[in-house]
């Protein structure tokens, strides 16, 4: 099945997958169950006959029609904006304080909350980004931190947002992750940066998005994971974002 990190299984009109963090799963199910007027579709959770969201380590959700298309970065950003508008009033979930995986470390590094501890190659890529990193004053909210590939498109229907990776950051940062991924991996053109430049502190959101992605890769795979292809994917985009920062400053 699409999404679910390759662990989702279809059963009729229901999709089941193993649960990661129980508290996060229950919180997310409660939010999505009551979400209305979002301008996007979501995979609504399905309760067990007992009324619970999780049974023996598994969760279920409704099947949603559509297919991911990472080449549609602008549409992924638009879907994210609609989704984030719908969840903007939610409080910060407590489970975020307990998460400490590679993605969480990378998130905190990107926002200057913990120091950088990177391999030599990653440090070389991060250097120019850290030089132009600046503090920002922005409103944080619950966001989807991994929209690329997790927006489904179906003709005649609004886009569907799936596999919600919950973070507490400005919504503009989530948009920047989409653009950064598109530029690095999915053939996105540099004009993507300019098209979304009206978003608040856009240069700094892009800087943080790239730091986040680079540190994730470094945390997961270490120095051995930096193949020439990986370096070549990031380096020109780092240069592009640094140049954009200088024009925006």
pTM (two decimals): 0.94
Q: Which domain holds residue 108?
A: 67-248
Q: What is the mean pLDDT of the chain?
A: 95
- Judgement on whether residues 53 and 74 belong to the same structural domain of the protein: no
Give the Å distances, CA to CA, from 164 to 92, 132, 177, 184.
15, 30, 14, 22
User: pLDDT tens for residues 147-168?
Assistant: 999 999 999 999 999 999 999 9
By percentage, how much of the chain surpasses pLDDT 70? 96
HSE of 222, CA atoms in CB hemisphere, 13 A: 1
- Judgement on whether residues 39 and 90 belong to the same structural domain of the protein: no
The residue length of the chain stands at 249
- Judgement on whether residues 171 and 108 belong to the same structural domain of the protein: yes
Phi-psi region of 243 (alpha: psi -120 to 50; beta: other; left: phi over 0): alpha
CATH number at residue 206: 3.90.1200.10
- Judgement on whether residues 87 and 191 belong to the same structural domain of the protein: yes
- Judgement on whether residues 146 and 24 belong to the same structural domain of the protein: no
From CA 136, how far away is CA 38, in angstroms rounded?
28
Give the Å distances, CA to CA, from 230 to 39, 69, 70.
35, 21, 18
User: pLDDT tens for residues 123-140?
Assistant: 999 999 999 999 999 999
- Judgement on whether residues 23 and 126 belong to the same structural domain of the protein: no
- Judgement on whether residues 127 and 86 belong to the same structural domain of the protein: yes
Q: Residue 115: beta bridge partners?
A: none
How many C-beta atoms lie closer than 10 Å to residue 118's C-beta?
A: 21
Helix or strand (DSSP H, E) at 9: strand 9-11
| Residue 39 pLDDT grade (very low, low, confident, very high; cuts 50, 70, 90) | confident
6 pLDDT more than 90? no
What's the confidence (pLDDT) of residue 249? 75
108 pLDDT more than 60? yes
Give the position of tokens 């209305």. 36
Domain stop point among 62, 87, 111 = 62
Higher pLDDT, 232 or 19: 232
Q: For residues 166, 167, 170 and 173, what is the CA-based torsion angle, rounded to 10 degrees?
A: -90
4 pLDDT more than 50? no
What's the confidence (pLDDT) of residue 13? 86
The structural domain count of the chain equals 2
Domain stop point among 32, 62, 92 = 62
Domain stop point among 62, 93, 112 = 62
User: pLDDT tens for residues 80-107?
Assistant: 999 999 999 999 999 999 999 999 999 9
Those residues whose C-beta lies under 8 Å from the C-beta of residue 129, and which sit 6 or more positions away, are: 207, 210, 211, 214, 238, 241, 242
From CA 240, how far away is CA 235, in angstroms rounded?
9
| Residue 5 pLDDT grade (very low, low, confident, very high; cuts 50, 70, 90) | low
- Judgement on whether residues 99 and 174 belong to the same structural domain of the protein: yes
12 pLDDT more than 80? no
- Judgement on whether residues 167 and 192 belong to the same structural domain of the protein: yes
- Judgement on whether residues 72 and 57 belong to the same structural domain of the protein: no
| Residue 224 pLDDT grade (very low, low, confident, very high; cuts 50, 70, 90) | very high
- Judgement on whether residues 233 and 162 belong to the same structural domain of the protein: yes
- Judgement on whether residues 119 and 240 belong to the same structural domain of the protein: yes
User: pLDDT tens for residues 53-62?
Assistant: 999 899 999 9
What's the confidence (pLDDT) of residue 77? 99
């Amino acid at each position: 099945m699409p999404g679910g990190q390759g662990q989702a299984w279809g059963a009729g009109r229901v999709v089941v997958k193993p649960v990661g963090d129980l508290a996060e799963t229950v919180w997310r199910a409660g939010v999505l169950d009551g979400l209305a007027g979002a301008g996007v579709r979501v995979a609504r959770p399905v309760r067990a006959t007992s009324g619970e969201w999780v049974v023996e380590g598994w969760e279920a959700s409704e099947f949603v029609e559509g297919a991911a298309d990472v080449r549609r970065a602008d549409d992924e950003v638009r879907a994210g904006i609609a989704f984030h508008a719908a969840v903007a009033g939610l409080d910060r979930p407590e489970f975020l304080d307990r998460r400490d995986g590679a993605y969480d470390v990378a998130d905190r590094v990107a926002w200057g909350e913990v120091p950088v501890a990177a391999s030599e190659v990653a440090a070389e890529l991060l250097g120019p980004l850290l030089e132009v990193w600046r503090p920002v004053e922005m409103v944080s909210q619950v966001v989807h931190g991994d929209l690329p590939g997790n927006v489904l498109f179906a003709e005649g229907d609004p886009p569907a947002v799936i596999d919600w990776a919950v973070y507490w950051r400005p919504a503009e940062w989530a948009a920047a992750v989409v653009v950064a991924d598109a530029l690095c991996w999915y053939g996105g053109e540099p004009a993507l940066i300019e098209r979304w430049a009206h978003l608040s502190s856009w240069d700094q959101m892009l800087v943080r998005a790239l730091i986040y992605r680079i540190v994730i890769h470094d945390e997961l795979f270490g120095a051995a994971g930096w193949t020439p292809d990986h370096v070549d994917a990031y380096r020109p985009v780092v240069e592009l974002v640094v140049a954009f920062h200088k024009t925006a400053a």
